Amino acid sequence: MKKKMVFLVIFVLLLIFTFTSCGTLLSLAGAAAEDSQVKKRKDAAQSAVSLDSLETLNDKLYWLEMHAESGGNYVIALTIGEEIDTHTLSFTDKANITITLKGQAENEIIITSPYDNRFFQIGSGVTLILENISLHGSGANGYSFISVNNGGTVIMNDGAVMRGNSSDRGVTVYKDGTFIMNGGIIAYNQSSWGGGVRINDDGTFIMNGGEISYNTASGGGGGVYISTNGTFTKTGGIIQGNSATYNSSSGRSIYAGGTVIIQRTSAKRIEADLGPEVNVSYTKGTTTGGGWSL
């Protein structure tokens, strides 16, 4: 009886090992296949003579990573949605490169990514402009749609959407990065601190228009989180319907440890008691301007 039990335990352990090994091998095979496809796309972009000679958004972005020139103004017009890789647009030896992704179709142009990563990382020397294009997320992304790094700028215009990232926010702005929101919508995203937008130390967010709504933070700043030394300037737009669940002072719309400048843009205003919508008590949060107008 004891021998049978021993054999049974060994058999079960072998089954577990076999299934685990197969799962690992399948994951490695899948990753290798993805790497192979990415390499093919990069090789195609490397050999292409011009941006216009390429068909897909992926290939065009890889071409720009390799061939963009200082002072260049590149416009990619999109008529269909695509699934893209993660693209890093940042140059240490080039400057003043502007890249515009513009949807040109009656239907919504939806961009997705299957990878556990960002859609875009924008850094030194690059301004990325989004118009009439939607970035749609999933639980697989794991990062914000866009990271704006040192020396990079992202501009969001009318018709641009960042929606449905259930594992992180819309935009993260890092040191010396700038995010300008002139229009568009950041909605239905979830993160820990800053469900819609997070401004890290020495990052800058300027909101002139658009809407940040129905995002969720498990910590603070359902709409916008401003870390120490970050700066948020709001001259227009709407922040509404967001939630932050950490405690009653988490700041459903804004949670600030840096500087917040909000000009009067509507009749809605919160006076001395900022209430649950706004919390600027974290570390050294300060406000200037003509009062709160969310």
CB 214 within 8 A of CB 238: no
Q: What is the tens place of the pLDDT at every residue in 254-273?
A: 877 777 777 654 434 333 33
Torsion of CA 99, 212, 281, 174, to 10 degrees: -20
Q: Is residue 62 part of a domain?
A: no
pLDDT tops 70 at residue 26: no
Q: Is residue 169 part of a domain?
A: yes
Number of compact structural domains in the chain = 1
| Backbone dihedral region for residue 245 (phi beyond 0: left; psi -120 to 50: alpha; all else: beta) | alpha
CA-CA distances (angstroms) from residue 219 to 139, 235, 277?
19, 26, 13
If one compares 249 and 190, the residue with the highest pLDDT of the two is: 190
| Backbone dihedral region for residue 261 (phi beyond 0: left; psi -120 to 50: alpha; all else: beta) | beta
Residue whose structure tokens are 């933070």: 217
Of 272, 235, 271, 234, the C-alpha closest to 254 is: 234
Q: Is residue 265 part of a domain?
A: yes
Q: Is residue 40 part of a domain?
A: no
Q: Is residue 51 part of a domain?
A: no
Domain assignment of residue 243, given as a range: 69-288
CB 125 within 8 A of CB 150: no
Q: Is residue 33 part of a domain?
A: no
Q: Is residue 149 part of a domain?
A: yes
Q: Is residue 60 part of a domain?
A: no
The Cα–Cα gap between 194 and 172 comes to: 9
| Neighbour-count burial for 3-20, b at 16+ CB within 10 Å, e otherwise | eeeeeeeeeeeeeeeeee
Secondary-structure breakdown of the chain: helix, strand, coil percentages, each rounded to the nearest 5: 20, 30, 45
pTM to 2 decimals? 0.80
Average pLDDT, the chain: 79
Q: What is the tens place of the pLDDT at every residue in 86-128?
A: 899 999 899 999 999 999 978 889 998 877 678 899 999 999 9
Sign of CA dihedral 174, 213, 169, 56: negative
